[in-house]
Chain A
Amino acid sequence: MSLDRLAASALCGFAKLLTGVRALWIGSAPDARPRVYFANHRSHGDFVLIWASLPPHLRRLTRPVAGADYWLTTPLKRYIINRVFRGVTIDRRPDRHGPNPVEQMGEALAAGESLILFPEGTRNLGEGVQPFKSGIHHLAKAHPEAELIPVWIENLGRVMPKGSVIPVPLLCSLSFGPPLAAQDNESRDAFLARARAALLDLAPPED
């Protein structure tokens, strides 16, 4: 086993131990076809939890989409995102000069890999789910063969809210919903609203 893989299993094991995460496959089952898992975003550990909850043979085929501005800043983070998780690091700045993020993500899908995507664009520190950025819409149009699977991450944002040093040992769960059905002639905003609603459908009732 290579060092990268060893680091991956260690990180997965730690995440599972800390959060007791439970994967609930409510509307879909694990599958090797190209997929975009899209989830609510509360913490930097979100994609680790999704990745760790996939069966090991699918982990190698599944790549998190991560912001270059956070993940490429130190050697350790670079190692984790590039080598351990084989992430697709994208430049989120509007005035970027590098490659187009949608094309970068599309290359992975075209190669038969799956993606983990947070369409809110950035971590949401409040309640609920922020409006989706348009990237997921472009991606869905360019790659109709990829399944869009909503994944609701419950509690991870509460384990360690922004500004705290010690985590509360809460149990997290991931709900994998049914694939988003394709619809012809749907406007961008209607698509984004529908995808966001599919994700919110998986959230537990607000009290």
Chain B
Amino acid sequence: MNPNHDLIAVFGGIFGLLALFSAIGMGLKWRVSPGAPHAVIDNLNARIKAWWAMIALIGGAIWIGKGGVIALFAFISFQSLREFVSLTHTRRGDHRALLWSFFVFLPLQYWLIATDWYGLFSILIPVYAFLLLPISSSLGADTQRFLERAAKVQWGLMICVYCLSHVPALLTLDIAGYTGRNALLVVFLVLTVQSSDVFQYVWGKLLGKHKVSPAISPSKTVEGLVGGVLTSTAVGAALWWITPFTPLEAGLIALVINVMGFFGGFVLSAIKRDRGVKDWGSMIEGHGGMLDRVDSISFSAPIFFHIVRYWWT
């Protein structure tokens, strides 16, 4: 089996689906409100349009190879960290710690993937950034809300850099009988978790009645959550042929990462509500910011990485 054939098959399928969704979106627009703005349908169409761009970017990165995937996720981390720090309050004394985060720890973390140095990759941010950044902040000689500020910087690095970097790190795993096919693991993870977001949105819009937690997210419903997680678990199981897993294993793993992904969105929503905003940014039309799009991946990627690393290598 040539991995390229599988990649072409998967991406061909995704683009076919997107074409179908685009047609449905245009049809809805034409049937319901031609020429006039319609909040839900216009947002749906903006989202579908953004999906074309996002899938094309991931496809392009995989086509370039390991370097492309690393560069893409380094950029995603950079943009996410920008959005995260922009919305959380830091003080002048944190300036140097922020510079270290953006310009040293972020590139270093991705460089460690490129050079396959797993030992340092896994502890760079939880140990070294954790100890060095508060030292740098303390040299700012500003004690006001010190613990809170140090925690925020560390949290931003963990969510936006450390966790997300586990997606390209999948390319470094040595799986027997799966050599040269690791990019398909990236596809499996991203596709499963993102489809869970999409299906939660679709089921929520179709059937949603009971809110999961109105205090945290006004749009998440129990119906959307259950329908979305189950549907995308089926998607994961159906993708078993691109993974080293059996169909049952693929389904179980998909279930775990979908649940983690849901809570990723949930936890980051709690932070957004606390800051009084709806979105992390405005970079991706219809979706909000970068972090709105990758919050679920951030929470599922490390778990997925460790499941594969523990049982398959």
A164 vs B275: C-alpha distance in the bound complex, in angstroms? 27
Interface presence of B82 (CB below 8 A):
yes
Any A CB within 8 A of the CB of B20 = no
A168 touching B102 in the complex, CB below 8 Å, given contacts A161-B92, A204-B276, A205-B275: yes
* B275 partner residues in chain A, CB cutoff 8 A: 204-205, 207
User: Does B4 reach chain A (CB closer than 8 Å)?
Assistant: no
Write out the residue numbers on chain A whose beta carbons fall within 8 Å of the beta carbon of B83.
171
Q: Mark A1-37, 1 if CB is under 8 A from B, else 0.
A: 0000000000000000000101000000000000000
- Known contacts A204-B276, A207-B89; is-contact A168 B281 (Cβ 8 Å): no
Q: Which of B85, B86, B95, B276 contacts A161 (CB 8 A)?
A: B95
* B246 contacts A by Cβ under 8 Å: no
Contact with A along B219-238 (1 / 0, CB 8 A): 00000000000000000000
- B-side contacts of A164, CB under 8 Å: 95
Is B82 a contact of A20 with CB atoms below 8 Å?
yes
What's the least CB distance linking B102 to chain A, in Å?
6
- Give residues 252-306 of B contacting A (CB, 8 Å): 274-276, 281-283
B 69-101 contacts with A by CB, 8 A: 78, 82-83, 85-86, 89-90, 92, 95, 98-99
Check A168 against B85 for contact (C-beta < 8 Å).
yes
**B-side interface size class:** 10 to 19
Q: What residues on A are CB-neighbors of B89 within 8 Å?
A: 206-207
> 1/0 per residue B145-167: CB within 8 Å of A?
00000000000000000000000
A-B interface pairs (CB < 8 A), number: 39
**Majority-rule SS of B interface residues:** helix
Decide if A155 is an interface residue (CB 8 Å cutoff).
yes
Q: Which residue of A lies closest to B81 (CB)?
A: A169
Q: Which of B90, B92, B99, B283 has the most CB of A within 10 A?
A: B92
* Nearest CB of B to A43, in Å: 12
For residue A171, which residues in chain B have a CB less than 8 angstroms away from its CB?
A: 82-83, 86, 281
Residue B311 at the A interface, CB < 8 A?
A: no
* Besides the known contacts A169-B102, A170-B82, A204-B275, 5 further A-B residue pairs in the complex with CB atoms under 8 A apart: A168-B95, A168-B102, A169-B82, A171-B82, A205-B276
B residues apposed to A, CB below 8 Å:
78, 82-83, 85-86, 89-90, 92, 95, 98-99, 102-103, 274-276, 281-283
20 A-B residue pairs with Cβ-Cβ distance under 8 Å, sorted by A, are A20-B281, A20-B283, A155-B86, A161-B95, A164-B95, A166-B103, A168-B98, A168-B99, A169-B78, A169-B102, A170-B82, A170-B85, A171-B82, A171-B83, A172-B86, A204-B275, A204-B276, A205-B275, A207-B89, A207-B274
